[in-house]
Amino acid sequence: MRILVVENDRLLSESLSRRLTEAGHAVDVFATVADAGAAWKIAAYDLCIVDVMLDDGDGRALVRSARAAGLRTPTLMLTARDEIGDRVAGLDAGADDYLVKPFATEELLARLRALRRRSAEITATEFRLGNLLYDPHNMSLTVADREVRLTAQEHAALDKLIRAGERVTPKRMLGEHLYALHEDWSDNAIETLVHRLRKKLSEAGATVEVKALRGLGYILCETLS
């Protein structure tokens, strides 16, 4: 997933970024309403984490503006104030959940998983294609009932491709999903990742493949018999 973190506490934002990156997510971190608002409009985020008190304004105003612009990204708000009025204001601004500081990182990650499950984008708890079964919540992949181990980044690529269904995923879109704004990536990096994923599926005996369509992108489809 691609996640936007809007937090002006440098130690906290670095900690969150590190944990989320280790889990295989692309993470963009901003400390201001202005920078985060600009990024939110141009990048396709799967989840957002927004602090209430930011250097140049209120995180609730950022969320309210995003909702007014039609951005429905599931959003978790962070605050240091545990008052009902503050939580109500955040939820009314368009946040989907609220977490009070200090918090355990594991709880935050669990709340993000819950938000992702509730997202309107998700229409199934698992995906089946050919003899492949993918469970996005547990990040597990089985082929013909045998577990296939993938790296976090390979899981992220598979997740993007399998959710696309019969739609082609452009190489640029796949790259933007896998890498944060500050990370450099190349077509070769995407091609290498897809090659690894394709090889693991083939070695596992999958009846599906990642097909490259020249000039268009990639599609996950059943192999022709």
Q: What is the structure's pLDDT at 120?
A: 47
Q: What is the structure's pLDDT at 89?
A: 84
Question: In 3D, which of 44, 54, 35, 46 has the Cα closest to residue 75?
Answer: 46
Domain ranges of the chain: 2-118, 127-222
Query: Residue 166 in contact with residue 159, Cβ under 8 Å?
Result: no
Say which CATH superfamily domain 2-118 falls into.
Response regulator (3.40.50.2300)
Q: What is the structure's pLDDT at 124?
A: 57
Rounded distance between C-alpha atoms, residue 196 and residue 220, angstroms: 14
DSSP state of 179: S
Question: In 3D, which of 198, 151, 140, 205 has the Cα closest to residue 178?
Answer: 151
Question: In 3D, which of 103, 5, 90, 94 has the Cα closest to residue 46?
Answer: 5
Mean pLDDT per 10-residue segment, the chain (225 residues): 92 92 88 94 89 92 92 91 80 90 90 78 72 86 93 90 88 86 85 95 94 90 80
Q: Do domains 2-118 and 127-222 have the same CATH topology?
A: no
Q: What is the pTM of this model?
A: 0.67
Question: CATH top-level class for 127-222?
Answer: mainly alpha
Rounded distance between C-alpha atoms, residue 80 and residue 52, angstroms: 8
Secondary structure class of 91 (helix, strand, coil) = helix
Q: What is the structure's pLDDT at 119?
A: 66
The b-or-e profile of 149-169 (16+ CB within 10 A means b, else e) is ebeebbbbbbbbbbbbeeeeb
